[in-house]
Amino acid sequence: MGLKEKIEEIKAEMSQVKVKSAEELEAFRIKFLGSKNIIKGLYQELKEVPNELKKDFGQKINALKQEGEKAFEKFKASVGGGQKKATSNKIDLTRPAEEIALGSRHPLAVVRNEIIEIFNRIGFNVSEGPEIEDDWHNFSALNFPPEHPARDMQDTFFIEKGENDMALRTHTSSVQVRVMEGSEPPIRTISPGRVYRNEAISARAHCFFHQVEGLYVDKGVSFADLKQTMDYFSKEMFGEKTKIRLRPSYFPFTEPSAEMDVSCTICNGKGCNVCKYSGWLEILGCGMVDPAVLDSANIDSKVYSGFAFGMGVERIAQLKYRVGDLRLYSENDIRFLDQFKSAY
């Protein structure tokens, strides 16, 4: 069969096609207009035609192709919405991908991890304990006398009141007691965790918050070691120019005890409304471990000494990120949390 006969045969076949559905329309497109359609084969045979006839046959093949395209558009219009239905489930790989929303660490987790890393660098390991504690580990072993206000219902969430008092822990010092009971000095540990106090919720107070408490017990530990450790922590957390000062205070489980302030990171000690124009900000309490606490954990206080400290993670985060309302940390407001996407 010559090229002329093939052109006429395809033309006749095309004219006899009836399209009534989207599937039949797609079949017509593939056969007569697709990437491997039968008309393309005619162009290959055109190479064998004598040069003086190539122009004439080329025009006939192009006319046949145009007839196929017109027929396709006619059939497409008659089928109507069927074509849309046939292709609606196909994936358009040319469309840009949707942006994946990235999560962020909670600001308290950021600060807690940074505190842990700082103390890890100087040999402190991490200890954890239960959030529901008995009276011994939460109070008695820490030298809290029976009449101490912290034992009153206004400060503590008691779960079981009686001979075996059980309560939500009011500090992570209870973890330190457990560490001393189960370990031999030297002991160098920090105890991060959530604690609970029966307080009214406001911008400056909450019924639960987070602490990181530290303990170092060994032979010959002095107040100078405590001061040096606190100075190192402050400079690592707030910057090399940070200064500290220790003010006398009282805690049942340390003697002597002190409150520690750092130079205001906002005004650099010059005075502002955040530091109440004093140039200093209180960040933690500390002191030398009371010998009675060591003895209650079966550690000989005549041989060993130690220091302890405790800080609120919310307080450190407040100074670091200038967050004025403690309630923001637990409200799960995405607008607030999104600000920490690039944080630690």
Q: How does pLDDT run across 244-259, given as a tens digit for each residue?
A: 999 999 999 999 999 9
Residue 83 has pLDDT above 50, yes or no: no
- Render pLDDT for 317-329 as a digit per residue (tens, 0 to 9): 888 888 878 888 8
3-state secondary structure (DSSP) of residue 212: strand
Residue 82 has pLDDT above 50, yes or no: no
Q: Band of the pLDDT at 130, cuts 50, 70, 90?
A: very high
Phi, psi of 189 (to 5 degrees): -145, 155
Q: Among candidates 189, 196, 118, 124, which has minimal Cα distance to 159?
A: 196
In sequence order, which ranges of 17-127 are alpha helices (DSSP H)? Answer: 22-32, 38-45, 51-79, 82-87, 107-120
How many CB atoms are located within 10 Å of the residue 22 CB?
A: 18
- Render pLDDT for 93-113 as a digit per residue (tens, 0 to 9): 777 777 777 777 888 999 999
Average pLDDT, the chain: 85
Question: Which of the listed ranges 64-68, 221-225, 327-331 does the model predict with the highest average pLDDT?
Answer: 221-225
**pLDDT at residue 153 in the model:** 59
**pLDDT at residue 81 in the model:** 47
Q: Percent of the chain scored above 70 by pLDDT?
A: 93
**pLDDT at residue 162 in the model:** 67
Q: Which fold has domain 107-340?
A: BirA Bifunctional Protein; domain 2 (3.30.930)
Which residue spans within 100-174 are E strands per DSSP? 125-126, 132-134, 158-160, 166-168
**pLDDT at residue 335 in the model:** 84
- Render pLDDT for 207-216 as a digit per residue (tens, 0 to 9): 888 999 999 9
- Render pLDDT for 16-34 as a digit per residue (tens, 0 to 9): 888 888 888 888 888 878 8
**pLDDT at residue 343 in the model:** 52
**pLDDT at residue 88 in the model:** 54
Query: Mean pLDDT throughout 72-99?
Result: 69
Q: pTM value?
A: 0.66
Q: Which H/E stretch holds residue 316?
A: helix 313-321
Q: For the chain, which residues make up each domain, given as ranges?
A: 3-87, 107-340
